[in-house]
């Protein structure tokens, strides 16, 4: 299980996330999915059945939601897909994605735009700068309520993935260990074999122990 909960919205609701921008409330919808059935929609006006169309019912305000999680020690890369629609442009309406701290203060603006992709776009975020921190990934759509003519803006979000054990952490732990083994030429043959067999064990899938305690290597010269 990854760090992000319900990343594909497949519960059909916002389980794992918090809605904090209520104009209008984001919704989980099966109108347009990437993989699976559902995606989350911020902005537009789904409460009045307006989806990517000009119906003179654009609200004025922010529609947003976030998910809070603790970034693993190895950082890693967060990935998500989004889909945008607009009849407006900056600086009147916008579609934003942020990394914030646990108080909601913005640490990084992933994007700030008013785009009309009308196709799924993948976005990745390097979480290395936030290793070990509790942060939020947040999605926000602002609409300026200009009617008529309505120039409405929205964004869908889905399929957010972020494995708990990111690749860089595993590599960082293995590299020093291998150097350590080869830097001890005076190890007895039995000790070398024992260490080699432990390394083989540690590389089996599902094995979590990645390093031998230093004291087990410390008998080489005695
Ligand atoms: Ca607008």
Instruction: Give dist(CA 32, CA 90) in Å, integer.
Output: 25
DSSP, collapsed to helix, strand or coil, labels residue 126 as: strand
Which residues have a Cβ under 8 Å from the Cβ of 75 and sit 6 or more positions away? 126, 127, 128, 129, 130, 131, 166, 168, 169
The rounded Å distance from CA 68 to ligand 1 centre is: 29
User: What is the torsion angle, in degrees rounded to the nearest 10, for the CA atoms of residue 63, residue 17, residue 105 and residue 101?
Assistant: -160
The rounded Å distance from CA 95 to ligand 1 centre is: 11
Cα four-point dihedral sign 166, 18, 64, 108 = negative
Give the pTM. 0.73
**The token pair that represents 204 in the structure block:** 């089996």
**The token pair that represents 6 in the structure block:** 């319900």
Question: Regarding the domain delimited by 18-161, which CATH topology (the fold level of the hierarchy) does it fall under?
Answer: Jelly Rolls (2.60.120)
Select from 86, 91, 67, 81 the least CA-distant residue to 125: 81
pLDDT per position in the chain (222 positions), as tens? 468 888 888 899 999 999 999 999 999 999 887 888 899 999 999 999 999 998 899 999 999 999 999 999 999 999 999 999 999 999 999 999 999 999 999 999 999 999 999 999 999 999 999 999 999 999 999 999 998 888 999 999 998 888 765 444 444 444 444 444 444 444 456 555 665 655 554 444 443 333 334 443 333 343
The rounded Å distance from CA 1 to ligand 1 centre is: 39
The rounded Å distance from CA 118 to ligand 1 centre is: 17
The rounded Å distance from CA 56 to ligand 1 centre is: 10
- The answer to whether the CB of 160 falls within 8 A of the CB of 79 is yes
The rounded Å distance from CA 110 to ligand 1 centre is: 22
- The helix (run of H) or strand (run of E) holding residue 172 is helix 167-182
**The token pair that represents 157 in the structure block:** 């979000």
The rounded Å distance from CA 168 to ligand 1 centre is: 42
């Amino acid at each position: 299980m990854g760090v992000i909960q319900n990343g594909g919205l497949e519960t059909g609701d916002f389980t794992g996330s918090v809605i904090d921008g209520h104009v209008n409330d984001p919704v989980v919808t099966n109108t347009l999915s990437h993989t699976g059935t559902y995606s989350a929609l911020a902005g537009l006006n789904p409460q009045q059945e307006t989806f990517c169309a000009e119906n003179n019912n654009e609200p004025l305000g922010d529609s947003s939601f976030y998910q809070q999680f603790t970034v693993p020690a190895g950082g890693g890369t967060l990935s998500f897909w989004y889909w945008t629609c607009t009849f407006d442009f900056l600086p009147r309406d916008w579609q934003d994605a942020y990394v914030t701290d646990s108080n909601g203060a913005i640490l990084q603006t992933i994007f700030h735009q008013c785009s009309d992709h009308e196709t799924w776009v993948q976005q990745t975020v390097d979480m290395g700068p936030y290793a070990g921190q509790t942060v939020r990934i947040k999605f926000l759509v602002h609409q300026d309520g200009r009617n008529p003519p309505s120039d409405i803006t929205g964004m869908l979000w889905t399929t957010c993935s972020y494995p708990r054990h990111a690749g860089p952490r595993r590599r960082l732990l293995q590299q020093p260990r291998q150097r350590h083994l080869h830097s001890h030429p005076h190890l007895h043959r039995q000790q070398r074999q024992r260490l080699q067999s432990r390394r083989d064990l540690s590389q089996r899938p599902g094995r979590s122990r990645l390093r031998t305690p230093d004291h087990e290597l410390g008998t080489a010269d005695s």
